[in-house]
Structure 1
Amino acid sequence: MDTGTDNKQSILMRIRWKAGYMNPALRRIADRVLRAPEEIKSISIKDLAVQCEVSESTVTRFVREIDVNSFQHFKILIAEELSQGNSAAPYITDRHVYEDITDQDDTSSVLSKVAARYAMTVSDTRSGLAEGALEQAVAAIEAADVMGFFAMGASLLCVENALLRFMRVGKRCLFFRDLGIRQISTSTLGPSSLAIGVSNSGRTISTVDSLREAKLRGATTLAITSFPDSPIVRHADICLFTPTVTGVVGPGEYHESMVSKIAQLQVIDVLYSLYAVRNFGSAIEGLERTSDVTALTRY
């Protein structure tokens, strides 16, 4: 399938999302495009290469990295997105109560929009997760004597799912809902630990601070976030990026979008599944053991 043509995800959102996986040269191009996308629709490949201090072949590689066939097609996509007013504006108007739903939507429209956003999120998450980063994350999970989790708000749903998944297959997990105890718990982590911070915006103070402290303690750190330029990324050894439709700034309630949580849950389920199939014997034993423990809780 020609992903450059068929992928309906915002081209600017795709660049921002994938930038975190790029090498420094490609990242410079991504930053330049995102800084002033309106200038890109009329720039030549030679001028862009000069401005980013890269070769023209590197610009071509960048375009292919974001699933577009050619530089000319890339400029067309940028121009089309800007003309539609869909340039990932940082603020969402007050008329939106959930993603792109407004007071003008009826029941049928709401059903369609929510279903479409969920389906698109799952597809975008699948296409955007870097297999190399997933491999690193699974290796870190295998090596960890304990997995410490840090999150706030709706990202707690992701953590609850992770606790259920990984504890059932025998991994020791650490998580505290009390903020003070959660911060203190970072002092118990060390070189054999894995600290996982989950934050859609990547800017949640307690989550970022926890990951930073865990890293100082020698723990391996993993961030699950949507923004490659967010503070949490600076303290993460491994990053897994999820798609989002919201800006990194703007009304706080939009940072709690349930659509972004679907992507986080998907990432955890992928990590769990990869770990379980690579440790199949012990995973099955853990599932059977925990099934016995929980059997009395059900009719």
Structure 2
Amino acid sequence: MNFKNRIQKYNSSLTDNDKKITKYLLANKASIRDKTIIDLSEEIQVSPASITRFCKKIDFNTFQQMKFSLIGSSTENKKNDETFETVYNYYQTIIKSTQQFFSEEQTSKIVNLILNTNKILFCGIGNSGLVAHEFNSRIYRMGIASESVTDAHDLLMKSSLLQENDLLVCFSNTGKTKPVIDSAKIAKANKTTVIVVTNFEQTALTELADEVVLISSYKYIDDTRFINSQLPGLFLLDLLTYKLLNHEKLMHARNKTLEAIHKYS
């Protein structure tokens, strides 16, 4: 896992000193190649031991391993002057970054939960709601009972009607969206299984989850003009959709819905 993904994954456990180190490293990626841990400790004004602890905390074995990972991510995110190439490279970076969070085991587990549920409620507010709508659109075309909600009041009401054999899928990049957290609390009280798709572990929302799926944050692209927050979630959707359509019954249902649209539209 690259440097930025590790910072994202372990964000909740980072101290103020760790965040000071992180901020310096991200701002000076190009110049640290030949720096020793002593050099950096003097420049950041922290002890060498603090940097060593920081490396261990984000799961690097050594300072050198951390440094090479950071240098690699700097090269990976190098911009091209042409807009097309710049945005293309950002897409490549985000997809590659998000891929590091997924495993075959976890995506298969989620597919099994979807296959064995009675009803699915997808939820999200704002940009996360767009991903929730898209996932729902794909799922109900496969003949699975599902619905998506992006209004806070509707979300609370519909969550209260969920039952033990249902599934709530929450999309929240920050994990701090109050209506989504409240809906997850209601669902858990009803013994509903909760899946959370988010950028960060150890949030109020992930504490309520039966399954947490981490996706990369677009904010780690160092360009304020690039604002695509849906891409990591859509990448996950494509993976799950592809696996679901391995099932003949779901593919048959999808073909029937497409045939109806083509015939009568």
- State the TM-score, normalized to the length of structure 1: 0.66
> Aligned partners of 1:160, 1:288: CA distance in 2, in Å?
20
Question: d(CA) in 1 for partners of 2:188 and 2:258?
Answer: 35
Contact 2:120 2:169 in 1 (8 A): yes
Contact 1:18 1:128 in 2 (8 A): no
Match of 1:190 among 150, 157, 163: 163
Residue in structure 1 matching 2:59, options 58, 62, 66: 62
Count of residues paired in the alignment: 236
Is 1:291 the counterpart of 2:258? The answer is yes
Mapped pair 1:118 → 2:91: yes
Q: Deviations over 1:83-118 (max 9, x none)?
A: x9xxxxxxxxxxxxxxx99xxx9xx54333322211
Tell me the secondary structure at the aligned position of residue 260 of structure 1: coil
Change (3 A) 1:276 1:78: closer
Cα displacement string for residues 42-93 of structure 1 (whole angstroms, at most 9, x for unaligned residues): 5459x74xx99xxxxxx59932xxxxxx513234358869xx9xxxxxxxxx
The residue that corresponds to 2:34 in the other structure is none
* Greater Cα offset, 227-236 or 211-220: 227-236
Shift of 1:141: 1.0
Deviation (angstroms), 1:122: 1.2
Render the CA deviation track for 1:174-213: whole Å, top value 9, x for unaligned.
2234432221000111110110010112211111211221
Deviation at 1:31, TM superposition (A): 6.9
Shift of 1:221: 0.4
Residue 21 of structure 2 corresponds to which residue in structure 1?
Answer: 37
Alignment pair present for 1:232 and 2:201: no
1:15 aligns with 2:15: no
Which amino acid counterpart does residue 244 of structure 2 have in structure 1?
Y
What's the % identity of the aligned pairs?
17
Partner of 1:219: 192
- The alpha carbon displacement at 1:229 in A equals 3.4
Describe the SS at the equivalent of 2:63. helix
Alpha-carbon distance between aligned partners in 2 of 1:271 and 1:31, rounded to the nearest angstrom: 35
Indicate how the Cα distance of structure 1 residues 132 and 61 shifts in structure 2: closer, same or farther if over 3 A, else same. Answer: farther
What are structure 1's unaligned runs of at least 5 residues?
4-8, 21-26, 53-58, 64-69, 85-99, 248-253
In 1: Cα distance, 2:15 partner to 2:245 partner: 37
**Larger RCO of the pair (alpha carbons < 8 Å, separation 6+):** 1
Instruction: Please tell me whether residue 246 in structure 1 is matched to residue 243 in structure 2.
Output: no
Find the counterpart in structure 2 of residue 166 from structure 1: 139
Work out whether 1:179 is the aligned partner of 2:152. yes
Matched to 1:259, the amino acid is N
Cα deviations by residue, 1:9-67 (Å, 9 ceiling, x for unpaired): 5x1x21134449xxxxxx96x7798455369865459x74xx99xxxxxx59932xxxx
AA aligned to 1:188 is L
CA distance in 2, matches of 1:209, 1:162: 21
2:64 aligned with 1:73: yes
CA distance in 1, matches of 2:16, 2:116: 38
Report the alpha carbon displacement of residue 286 of structure 1 after superposing the two structures with TM. 0.6
Judge conservation of contact 2:9–2:200 (CA < 8 Å) in 1: no
CA distance in 2, matches of 1:35, 1:246: 16
TM-score under structure 2 length normalisation: 0.74
One-letter amino acid matched to 1:186: S
Aligned with residue 149 of structure 1, among 122, 127, 137? 122
CA RMSD of aligned residues (A): 3.6
- Shift of the 197–259 alpha-carbon distance from structure 1 to 2, 3 Å rule, reads same
Consecutive unaligned residues in structure 2, runs of 5 or more: 25-36, 42-47
Whether contact under 8 Å (2:168, 2:195) holds in the other structure is: yes
